[in-house]
Structure 1
Amino acid sequence: MRPPEVADLYGAAGDAEVLVVGAGIGGLACAVALSRAGFDVRVTEQAEELREIGAGLQLAPNAVKALCHWGLEEAVAAVSVVSQSVEYFDLDTGEHLFSSVLGLAAAARYGAPVHQIHRADLLGILADVLPAGTVTLGRRATDFDVRDSGVTVRFADGGTMQTQLLVGADGLRSPIRQQLARPEPPRYTGTVGWRGLLTRERAEALGFGHACYCYLGRGRSIVLYWLRSGEVLNVIGFVPVDEIQRESWTESGDVDSFRRSFATAHPRVRRLVGSVESAFITGVYDREPLDVWTDRRVTLLGDAAHPVAPYLAQGAGQAIEDAAVLSAALSAQRGPTDSRSWTGAAASAALTHYERTRRPRTTKLQAVARATESFWHERDPEQIHARNGRFRGITRIDPLGETVWSWLFDYNPVTQSYDTSASRSAGITSSREYHRLARAGSQQAMEAWRGAFTPGDYAAGWKGLRRAYERMLTTVCSPAPGVCTEHVDAGGVPALWVRPQGRHPANPVVVLYLHGGGYIGGAAAAGIDLAARLADAVNGQALAVDYRLAPESPYPSALDDAMCALRWLVERTEHETKIILAGDSAGGALAACAALRARDEELPPVAGVYAMSPLADLSLGSPSIDEREGTDAAVSRDLLTDMSACYLQGRDPQDPYASPAFGEFRGTPPLLVHAAANEGLVNDATRLVERVVATGGNATLRLYDDEVHAFQLFRFSPDAAEALAEFGRFAHSWLNRTAPAG
């Protein structure tokens, strides 16, 4: 028999169909979504009063779409602020780095604006639309028993409750999670956040307009945005924990300590911090992603499932997304609308569907947020310079900030289905898992690309992608036995002589090989196998160049290094030595750029250029990038934008020495271009050849069906051997010619 206090609480209506533990934003959003869908839902909360301590939060379009679906758009708009842009600055110098439009532009692009709102205001909006008696305060759930027939939830006061389905929305230190999943404590990041408010008059006097501001510094940052219909400016300062003494929402910190942490910041920031009269301080925590967060009739939601560091402003938004998707999953499995009896199979199917739909996205988001903290709070001056340069490049290549935000903002949790969210993992991989190529070798190469980058690699930006790309090449593309290598200094640039077995060092044919990797990754050592096979194709040897990588060394560093190696080859080799430039992906474009510059510098002509799947247009103007989105496992627009931004850092993307698709090729050596007909960069290949021919050069194009980007990297690819044999024939047809084409 149910204890009297519980019977009194829930009355004659009986046990809940769905019990949500936790009345924070996620728990109340879940209750709103379920009640709107006709479910009998109850919420229990351990706090004695329904309130959210803290300050502001940001609701991005992905979350706002759900709030609109629940009819809450007007209520949210009445108490929130829609900033027109987010502006990024260097904390120490005040340099403006990047601007991304929000406001009406974001609403037009993503289907909803970005709202900044006080936590307490959002909590009140959600609570006000729930049926009377939905929420019970002062009742702390401690544990549960799950059976095929239902769930028994126990409370700290000794009471119990029966429910068909249990949702743990009880936050970072969730007792429901503790029993359901791994029991390890939250991970403390070593960072604390100061949170305070400034009046509109004071903030405007300091020059802060109707925007969101992010200042990034050495080991610290400050984020500013407006709340309460623009009457107050929310101030959040993240600093290392050893610079403060306490980390509790409920205690006000010593603002003098806050000011000391930003004593070296730009004067505008120092004036801002000096104007904050009181601030809360809290530790920044997250957790490792869960492998499973559902058990039969029990699941988790929001921070209980996937607590996320605050640097993407998505904690509340992801909980709201969870609520919308959970409601849809339950509605799809529910029987007649007047039936509230769930079989074990139906309950498990619905909650498993919800988890499978949500977990790929939240796993990536947790990783990206963690990487963003490292990215924002760089300490190494070289990496700070690289970070700032990348931001400048994004501004030039992607003025709407779609590379930064689209994978988050495009998502609509109301309409999202499992088929589209899990198989096309929204930025976790760049291709749909169900897309396959016809031939076994081609599919093996596709899987090599697809498996090259983990969610953590993508999340870590250029550092993660760099590690992953070299890891793939050294494991999947290891050189055959007998290849000889020798480290050399090629005119001040490190390089490797690569000689197939039995090849004499004095062989008169040299392939100057420039590796791929989007200018942010790759290495000569990782490209030994392809370099050796290129050398073998021309019965010669190869010099693989370790050119400098972006963003630490932006344009024209890679081209400068390629030219140093080329001049070194010209100066040290005999007159009869023939040099061929070759490269894959970015290296293919770099080879074409080097041919242009060699002509302009009037160097002795090389015998030819071989470009494999060249990244020939860093303005990313090729239609095939978007047309092949989701089917090319190697490249996507987001990835290419990041690469281009890291390399160019605000320079003209149509500079022919960066993007040979805009070059003038009269007087350059002949060019052979190979690409996969179905890859994202196929138009880069076709446009490059068209440009060469149109400007008086000589170019040959061959497209291979049912292949992957830079398929020559994979010796098991069905067309790799034929492509390199054609390269050999192309090279030998020009080796005895002394004058360039045209």
Structure 2
Amino acid sequence: MRAIVVGAGIGGLAAAVSLRRAGHEVTLVEQTPRFTELGAGIQLAPNATRELRRLGLLDTVAAQSAYPSHISFRSWSDGLEICRYELGREAEDTFGAPYLQVHRADLQQALAAAVPPASVRLDTVVVGVDQDAKSACVVTGDGEVLDADLVVAADGIRSAVRQWLFGKDAAVFSHTAAFRALLPAAEVADLDLPDTGIWLGPGRHFVHYWVRRRELLNVVAVATADESAAQESWTARAEPGEQLREFEGWSPTVLDVLERAGQVFRYGIYTRTPLARWNTGRITLLGDSAHAMVPFQAQGAAQAILDAAVLGDCLADAAPTDVPEALERYVHRRLTTATGMQARSTRAGAEFHLPDGPEAEARNSRMAAHAAEHRFLPVATEWAVDPLNEPKPEPEPT
């Protein structure tokens, strides 16, 4: 069976690998002329790394990753620890797969290496999709028509295929923007940083963790923002000192990290409104095109990888005539979970950004009480879910 995957981000590459492992011929279409090192850190919880293992890629990705031992939530002004959760070996033993922190480019490279170059069409813009009862196709900017038995649209948060299938609905601004930077480990060696840290404050939060075998510190500083000043771009530079002004009054440790960051990028964070369905006939959405979410539960990439795994599972042993029904099963198995994670991530952002006072104090008390009883983050209930192997393992109750 022939499949076309539109978009070579994390979700599209994972879909191409998953469909190839299911025995199908895949053409991966990407508009950029080459794979580039965009973005920075990605956290891969056990629900994602479990699927990377099934794809035969976990060892390759893990060799380029950092293995965090714990995650520490801290107060914005004084750096006092609110609570701490285990990651590392305890998480791997409980959930059957590791928690990894990886540079996006390293993950992309591992996935891309599993797709034969002859199957990849770079520098190819898709300007339309179509289908009938027996086949589907994409139309390129050069007027070429590429035929297949199904089309998977993994073309990101600004998905054109989504609009062609379901009508126009603009990306939704989250009223937050993020400052992003990578610092060499030597630049922060004198700072007493937790292994993985999330610092919570009024209208802002600050995240840091290691990537690339702990050689680099990934930093993401999120602040409330107006849409007019929040460009959606991986390559837009922040103004000199802008990140320090946004986080004025924060813990000296946070300010030290932000001050030492050399090249700082700033991007607006957008989401998409949940859809009632992702598929029409032989065409379906996957990843951010279907369920783009704010990154406050570290599950965006994981949910795209899970989409790819379930898609391949639903299409295993499928014939061309089975495609519409198989895509129905794929969406049925994934839509509720991914949409729920969208909502959960949004709620987490609101909790992180509570103003000082009774609400923040109550949040801190809830977090500390939960951590006193449970080893793992509340979202770890999702890490236990294995959609390809029921019944799924369960962590301790939350």
TM-score, normalization by structure 1: 0.52
Q: Distance in 2 between matches of 1:375 and 1:246?
A: 21
Q: Distance in 1 between matches of 2:177 and 2:138?
A: 34
Contact map agreement 1:255 1:276 (CA 8 A) in 2: no
1:228 to 2:208 alignment = no
Q: Distance in 2 between matches of 1:124 and 1:245?
A: 32
Q: 1:131 aligns with which of 116, 121, 137?
A: 116
1:278 aligned residue: 263
1:571-611, Cα deviation, whole Å (9 max, x unpaired) = xxxxxxxxxxxxxxxxxxxxxxxxxxxxxxxxxxxxxxxxx
Contact map agreement 2:234 2:267 (CA 8 A) in 1: yes
1:511-566, Cα deviation, whole Å (9 max, x unpaired) = xxxxxxxxxxxxxxxxxxxxxxxxxxxxxxxxxxxxxxxxxxxxxxxxxxxxxxxx
Structure 1 residue 93, shift from structure 2 partner:
2.4
1:125-170, Cα deviation, whole Å (9 max, x unpaired) = 1111212311110111122112101112112222211110010000
Q: Distance in 1 between matches of 2:92 and 2:226?
A: 41
SS at match of 1:230: coil
Contact map agreement 2:87 2:376 (CA 8 A) in 1: no
Q: Distance in 1 between matches of 2:88 and 2:345?
A: 23
Q: Which amino acid aligns with 1:357?
A: R
Q: Which amino acid aligns with 1:274?
A: E
Bigger relative contact order, structure 1 or 2 (CA pairs below 8 A, ≥6 apart): 2
Structure 1 residue 38, shift from structure 2 partner:
1.3
Contact map agreement 1:51 1:123 (CA 8 A) in 2: no
Q: 1:188 to 1:246 in 2, by over 3 A?
A: closer
1:415 to 2:389 alignment = yes
Q: Which amino acid aligns with 1:60?
A: A
Say which is worse superposed, 89-98 or 211-220, in terms of deviation.
89-98
Q: Which amino acid aligns with 1:216?
A: L
Q: 1:377 to 1:182 in 2, by over 3 A?
A: farther
Q: Distance in 1 between matches of 2:237 and 2:211?
A: 20
Q: 1:372 aligns with which of 340, 348, 359?
A: 348
1:296 aligned residue: 281
Q: 2:358 aligns with which of 365, 368, 382?
A: 382
Matches within 5 A, 1:51-70: 51-70=36-55
Q: 1:397 to 1:194 in 2, by over 3 A?
A: same
1:39 to 2:24 alignment = yes
2:200 aligned residue: 216
Q: Which amino acid aligns with 1:387?
A: R
Contact map agreement 1:243 1:257 (CA 8 A) in 2: no
Q: Which amino acid aligns with 1:71?
A: G
Q: 1:415 to 1:157 in 2, by over 3 A?
A: same
Q: Which amino acid aligns with 1:203?
A: V
1:326 aligned residue: 311
Larger radius of gyration: 1
Matches within 5 A, 1:502-513: none
Q: 1:33 to 1:234 in 2, by over 3 A?
A: same
Matches within 5 A, 1:650-729: none
Query: What is the aligned-residue RMSD (CA, Å)?
Result: 1.9
1:260 to 2:245 alignment = yes
Q: 1:110 to 1:255 in 2, by over 3 A?
A: farther
Q: Distance in 1 between matches of 2:356 and 2:76?
A: 14
Q: Distance in 2 between matches of 1:42 and 1:140?
A: 14
Matches within 5 A, 1:267-666: 267-332=252-317, 334-335=318-319, 342-343=320-321, 346-379=322-355, 381-398=357-374, 400-401=375-376, 404-415=378-389, 637-638=397-398
Structure 1 residue 266, shift from structure 2 partner:
1.2
List structure 1 runs of 4+ shifted beyond 4 angstroms. 242-246
Q: Distance in 2 between matches of 1:217 and 1:224?
A: 15
Q: Which amino acid aligns with 2:144?
A: G
Q: 1:145 to 1:243 in 2, by over 3 A?
A: closer
Structure 1: 5+ residue stretches without partners: 1-15, 336-341, 428-625, 627-636, 639-742
Structure 1 residue 401, shift from structure 2 partner:
2.2
1:660-702, Cα deviation, whole Å (9 max, x unpaired) = xxxxxxxxxxxxxxxxxxxxxxxxxxxxxxxxxxxxxxxxxxx
SS at match of 2:3: strand
1:229-281, Cα deviation, whole Å (9 max, x unpaired) = 01110000001224994523222212411001111111111112111122111
SS at match of 1:278: coil
1:622-643, Cα deviation, whole Å (9 max, x unpaired) = xxxx9xxxxxxxxxx43xxxxx
1:241 to 2:241 alignment = no
Structure 1 residue 405, shift from structure 2 partner:
2.7
Q: Distance in 2 between matches of 1:365 and 1:74?
A: 27
Q: 2:34 aligns with which of 35, 43, 49?
A: 49
TM-score, normalization by structure 2: 0.95
Structure 2: 5+ residue stretches without partners: none
Q: Which amino acid aligns with 1:271?
A: D
Matches within 5 A, 1:7-18: 17-18=2-3
Q: Distance in 2 between matches of 1:207 and 1:161?
A: 55
Give me the identity figure in percent.
35
Q: Distance in 1 between matches of 2:269 and 2:227?
A: 14
Q: Distance in 1 between matches of 2:183 and 2:227?
A: 23
Contact map agreement 2:19 2:312 (CA 8 A) in 1: yes
Q: Which amino acid aligns with 2:385?
A: Y
Contact map agreement 2:243 2:258 (CA 8 A) in 1: yes
Q: Which amino acid aligns with 1:214?
A: I
Q: Which amino acid aligns with 1:89?
A: R
Say which is worse superposed, 234-243 or 366-375, in terms of deviation.
234-243
Give the strand-richer structure, 1 or 2. 2
Q: Which amino acid aligns with 2:376?
A: G
Q: Distance in 1 between matches of 2:186 and 2:276?
A: 48
Structure 1 residue 396, shift from structure 2 partner:
1.4
Contact map agreement 1:20 1:167 (CA 8 A) in 2: yes
Q: Distance in 1 between matches of 2:295 and 2:240?
A: 21
Structure 1 residue 381, shift from structure 2 partner:
2.1
Q: How many residues align?
A: 396
Q: Distance in 2 between matches of 1:34 and 1:242?
A: 41
Q: Distance in 1 between matches of 2:21 and 2:220?
A: 35
1:104 to 2:79 alignment = no
